[in-house]
Amino acid sequence: MNPTTKLRLIKLLHTIIWVFFNFVIFYILYAVIINRIDFWLWLCYGLIVLEGIVLLLFKMYCPLTVWARKYSDSTRHNFDIYLPEWLAKYNKLIYTSIIGVSVGILIYRLIQ
């Protein structure tokens, strides 16, 4: 398999995982807004914590980004994922902010 094909497969996998985590993050936000504090909410928070640990272990890079670097010397933020450049650049900031808001709402719900 040539390097271009490998990079495309990594980008596809990375995008699929990104979509999955969008469902997780928006389920979290939905659940805390409607006050559905259940097993699924805690499971989703657990997935986010696990993702955070992985990012910490890889110096705030997704392991797929590290892997994709072997097949590209691009400096673009979206070289390793099928996202618009701006979204790839601000992805962590956007989704960390959403999780922060959801944690704030969760704390409010729990002490209410």
| pLDDT tens string 55-75 | 999 999 999 999 999 999 999
What integer pLDDT is reported at residue 50 of this predicted model?
98
What integer pLDDT is reported at residue 63 of this predicted model?
97
What does 42-94 look like in DSSP terms, one character per residue?
HHHHHHHHHHHHHHHHTTTS-HHHHHHGGG-----TTTTSSS-HHHHHHHHHH
Domain map (residue ranges) of the chain? 3-111
